[in-house]
Amino acid sequence: MRGISFWFFFSATLYVLVGMLWGIGMAATEDHSLFPAHAHLNLLGWVTMALFGVYYHLVPRKGAEGLAKVHFAVATGGLFLMVPGIVMALTNNGHLLASVGSVLSLISMILFSVTVYRDRQA
């Protein structure tokens, strides 16, 4: 695995390590109040980013395009805003960060959908 597929997949492993430690922390303290943030870190950070990485590994010509780097930046930015944003929302500190993060995450999925569509085979 190389290039953008490596970075998608490797960063996903880091997110799930943090997510698992967070889960263990929740279980140990019996404080599950932030579980939606943990769930989004794991599902957007691990599952989604790893799937992106697998796709670019399977279709390296798409991984070599500049759009793949833009996709990585937008997906990573969305995650980095959304997870703390959910924590802020859950602790009554406003929804702005979560809102911006969720829109970036949506844009990242639109970019991915366009990428997949443009590589369709006749």
Give φ, ψ of 66 to 5 degrees: -60, -30
Q: Does 44 bind ligand HEM (CB under 6 A)?
A: no
Residues 47-76 that bind ligand HEM (CB under 6 A): 47
User: 19-26 long-range CB contacts below 8 Å, 24 or more apart?
Assistant: 19/45, 19/46
Contact 115, 71 (CB under 8 A): yes
Largest CA distance in the chain: 54
Residues 2-31 that bind ligand HEM (CB under 6 A): 16, 19-20, 23-24, 26-27
**Among residues 26 and 90, whose Cβ is nearest to ligand HEM?**
26
**Among residues 39 and 54, whose Cβ is nearest to ligand HEM?**
39
Kindly compute the dihedral angle of the four CA atoms of residues 70, 41, 105, 67, in this order, to the nearest 10 degrees: 20
Shortest distance, position 18 Cβ to ligand HEM, whole Å? 11
Residues that bind ligand HEM (CB under 6 A): 16, 19-20, 23-24, 26-27, 32, 35, 38-39, 42-43, 46-47
